[in-house]
C-alpha cells in the first residue's frame, strides 16, 4: 500500500498528457470511460492523441494507482461487447485527491494568498458557544456542532497564515525584483503585514482567555461530543476500518488549538512566534528594498540587463556586432598601461610596446600549478611584545577602575544608599541587581547573587521602595528591599 500511495504522484513528472487524461476523469464523479471516450473528450479539450497512445497512458495510470479498471460489465450480447465493456476505466479515490492537490498547488503556487482574520471571529464565537454549554448535560449533537464551529475556521486560518508567512520568508531573499514587484513589496506588503499583525494581536488575546476557560472541560467535551461516522464505527467495534476523525475529537486537537493562542512559561504561543518571525522577515525584506532603491531596481541580478543586451545583438547588423561586444564587455585591443617590470628591472613606461617590454616574472607555482601559495622559507615572526604589554596595561587599568567602582558601591550600600553613586558604581549595581532579580523569579521570596566579591540580596516587601541617587538621576526599586554587602 505504501508503494501505491507514493507512485500516484509519478505522473506529475511525466508528460503533460497524463494530467489532461486525469482531468477528464476528475470531472466525471467516478464515471466509467473507455479509451475511445477518453480520446474524444481530449479532442474536445484541444488535446489530440490517438487511441493507442491514450490506452497506453491509461494503463500507466492504472499501474500507478490513479485509475482502476471497472469490474462491472453489465448485460452483454457478444464476446466483443464483453471485452469492450470490460476495458472501462474510472478514477480511484486516492487518484482524485492527488489530482485535486496537484492542480490546486500548480494553479496557486505563484499567487499571494490573503489572510482572513475574520475566521478568528468565528473561532471566538464558537468558543463562546462551547463555554455557554454544560458539557455534562448538553445534547451530544449540539456539542459536536459547537466543536466543529471552533475547529473548522481555525483549520482554514492556520493554513492561510502559515502559507502567507512562508511566502514572506521566501520573498526576503529576492534580489531580482522588477518594477512592479518592487512597488508591491515596498508600498503594499510591508504596511499590510504591519496591519495584519496588529489585528492578529488584538484578536488573539480574547481567544486565549476563552481557551483557558474551556480547556478544563475538554475531557468531558471530547467524551460526549462523539458524532459522525467515526463515532459509529467506534461504537460498532470495527477496529480494522480506518476513519478520519473530525478536528476537535481528541484532547490533542484542543492542545494544538491552545498552543496557537495561549502562552506558558518559557513557551510562547504560535501566534507570538509567527509575529516575531514575520517582523524579522519584513525587517530583512525592508533592508533589501533599501539596498535595491540605492542601486536601482534589479541592481543585484543582471538578468534583465543581459536579456536587453541579447536583444541588441539580435537586432544589430553583423558589421556592428563586434563594436557592440567591445562596448558591452570591454573587449577592445590590448593596451599597455605601464607598471613595474619586476624586482630587478626598471619600471616600464606606458608607451613601450608589449613586444618590446621585458618579460614579466611569473612565480613558478603560479606558472606551473596555477597556485599562488607561498613556498620556501617562512618569514621571521614579528615581535609582538610591545603590543602585549600595552594590552596587559589596559586590562590592569580596567580592573583597577572596576575594583574602585565595587568599593564605592559597597561603601554606599553600607550607608543605606544615601550618597550619590558615580556612573561606574551604578553600572556595577545594575549588574548585580539584575542577576539578583533574575534569581528572585516570579515565585520566590528572595534572590541572592555573589559576583566579584559583592553580595546582592533582594526580598519582596510590598509597599517598600529603595531610592539610589546618582549623578544622572535616581534609581528606584519598588516593592523590594535591597542589600549590598561584601561577599564572605
pLDDT of res. 143: 82
Taken in order 272, 278, 284, 289, the sign of the CA dihedral is: negative
Please give the sequence-ordered ranges of beta strands (E in DSSP) within 398-453, or none if there are none: 446-451
State residue 193 phi and psi, 5-degree precision: -65, -40
- The residue-averaged pLDDT of 168-196 equals 64
Whether the pLDDT of residue 134 is over 80: the answer is: yes
CA distances in angstroms from 433 to 408, 411, 418, 447, 464, listed in the order given: 15, 16, 18, 10, 16
pLDDT of res. 81: 53
Cell digits for 219? Answer: 475531557
Comparing 168 with 399, the larger pLDDT belongs to 399
Average pLDDT, the chain: 76
Percent of residues, the chain, with pLDDT higher than 90: 1
- Listed in sequence order, the DSSP H helices in 172-269 are 179-183, 190-214, 218-224, 228-236, 251-261
Q: Which of 390, 377, 482, 380 is nearest to 430 (CA)?
A: 482
User: Measured between alpha carbons, how far is 475 from 488 in angstroms, rounded to an integer?
Assistant: 27
Residue pair 486/410 in contact (Cβ under 8 Å)? The answer is yes
Whether the pLDDT of residue 79 is over 60: the answer is: no
Lowest mean pLDDT: which of 181-190, 201-210, 322-331? Answer: 181-190
Domains of the chain, each with CATH number or no CATH: 2-108 (1.10.10.10), 118-294 (no CATH), 403-486 (no CATH)
Whether the pLDDT of residue 331 is over 80: the answer is: no
- The residue-averaged pLDDT of 177-189 equals 62
Whether the pLDDT of residue 83 is over 60: the answer is: no
CA distances in angstroms from 310 to 306, 316, 393, listed in the order given: 6, 10, 64
Residue 187 Cα to chain centre, angstroms: 22
- Bridge-partner residues for 423, per DSSP? none
Whether the pLDDT of residue 295 is over 60: the answer is: no
Comparing 183 with 477, the larger pLDDT belongs to 477
CB atoms < 10 A from the CB of 353, how many? 7
pLDDT of res. 228: 45
pLDDT of res. 245: 63
CA neighbours closer than 13 Å in the CB half-sphere of residue 474 = 11
Give residue 298's pLDDT band: very low, low, confident or very high (50, 70, 90): very low
- The residue-averaged pLDDT of 30-36 equals 78
Whether the pLDDT of residue 86 is over 60: the answer is: no
User: Measured between alpha carbons, how far is 204 from 206 in angstroms, rounded to an integer?
Assistant: 6
Is residue 462 classed as helix, strand or coil in its secondary structure?
Answer: strand
Comparing 160 with 359, the larger pLDDT belongs to 160
User: Measured between alpha carbons, how far is 128 from 139 in angstroms, rounded to an integer?
Assistant: 17
Cell digits for 209? Answer: 482567555
Whether the pLDDT of residue 238 is over 70: the answer is: no
pLDDT of res. 97: 84
- The residue-averaged pLDDT of 388-416 equals 88
Lowest mean pLDDT: which of 246-255, 335-344, 362-371? Answer: 335-344
pLDDT of res. 229: 42
Amino acid at each position: 500500500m505504501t508503494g501505491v500511495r507514493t507512485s500516484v504522484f509519478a505522473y506529475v513528472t511525466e508528460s503533460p498528457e497524463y494530467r489532461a487524461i486525469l482531468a477528464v476523469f476528475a470531472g466525471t464523479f467516478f464515471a466509467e470511460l473507455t479509451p475511445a471516450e477518453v480520446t474524444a473528450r481530449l479532442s474536445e479539450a484541444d488535446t489530440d492523441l490517438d487511441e493507442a497512445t491514450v490506452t497506453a497512458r491509461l494503463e500507466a495510470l492504472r499501474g500507478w494507482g490513479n485509475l482502476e479498471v471497472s469490474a462491472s460489465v453489465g448485460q452483454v450480447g457478444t464476446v466483443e461487447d464483453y471485452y469492450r465493456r470490460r476495458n472501462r476505466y474510472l478514477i480511484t479515490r486516492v487518484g482524485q485527491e492527488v489530482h485535486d492537490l496537484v492542480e490546486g498547488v500548480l494553479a496557486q503556487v505563484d499567487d499571494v494568498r490573503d489572510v482572513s482574520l475574520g475566521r478568528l471571529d468565528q473561532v471566538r464565537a464558537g468558543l463562546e458557544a462551547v463555554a455557554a454549554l454544560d458539557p455534562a448535560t448538553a445534547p451530544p449533537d449540539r456539542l459536536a456542532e459547537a466543536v466543529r464551529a471552533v475547529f473548522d475556521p481555525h483549520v482554514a486560518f492556520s493554513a492561510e497564515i502559515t502559507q502567507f508567512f512562508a511566502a514572506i520568508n521566501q520573498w526576503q531573499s529576492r534580489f531580482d525584483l522588477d518594477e512592479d514587484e518592487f512597488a508591491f513589496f515596498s508600498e503594499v506588503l510591508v504596511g499590510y503585514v504591519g496591519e495584519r499583525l496588529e489585528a492578529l494581536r488584538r484578536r488573539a488575546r480574547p481567544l486565549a482567555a476563552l481557551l483557558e476557560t474551556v480547556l478544563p472541560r475538554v475531557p468531558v467535551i471530547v467524551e460526549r461530543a462523539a458524532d459522525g461516522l467515526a463515532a459509529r464505527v467506534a461504537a460498532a467495534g470495527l477496529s480494522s476500518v480506518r476513519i478520519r476523525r473530525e478536528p476537535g475529537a481528541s484532547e490533542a486537537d484542543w492542545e494544538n488549538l491552545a498552543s496557537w493562542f495561549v502562552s506558558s512559561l518559557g513557551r510562547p504561543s504560535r501566534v507570538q512566534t509567527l509575529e516575531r518571525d514575520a517582523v524579522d522577515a519584513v525587517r530583512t525584506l525592508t533592508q533589501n528594498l533599501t539596498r535595491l532603491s540605492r542601486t536601482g531596481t534589479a541592481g543585484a541580478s543582471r538578468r534583465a540587463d543581459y536579456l536587453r543586451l541579447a536583444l541588441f545583438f539580435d537586432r544589430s547588423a553583423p558589421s556592428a556586432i563586434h563594436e557592440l561586444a567591445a562596448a558591452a564587455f570591454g573587449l577592445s585591443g590590448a593596451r599597455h598601461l605601464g607598471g613595474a617590470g619586476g624586482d630587478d628591472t626598471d619600471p616600464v613606461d606606458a608607451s613601450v610596446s608589449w613586444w618590446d617590454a621585458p618579460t614579466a616574472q611569473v612565480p613558478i607555482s603560479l606558472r606551473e600549478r596555477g597556485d599562488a601559495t607561498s613556498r620556501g622559507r617562512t618569514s621571521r615572526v614579528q615581535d609582538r611584545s610591545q603590543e602585549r604589554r600595552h594590552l596587559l596595561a589596559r586590562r590592569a587599568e580596567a580592573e583597577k577602575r572596576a575594583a574602585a567602582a565595587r568599593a564605592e558601591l559597597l561603601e554606599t550600600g553600607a550607608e543605606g544608599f544615601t550618597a550619590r553613586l558615580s556612573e561606574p558604581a551604578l553600572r556595577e549595581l545594575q549588574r548585580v541587581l539584575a542577576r539578583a532579580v533574575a534569581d528572585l523569579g516570579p515565585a520566590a521570596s528572595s534572590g541572592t547573587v555573589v559576583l566579584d566579591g559583592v553580595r546582592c540580596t533582594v526580598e519582596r516587601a510590598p509597599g517598600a521602595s529603595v531610592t539610589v541617587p546618582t549623578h544622572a538621576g535616581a534609581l528606584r526599586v519598588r516593592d523590594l528591599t535591597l542589600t549590598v554587602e561584601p561577599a564572605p
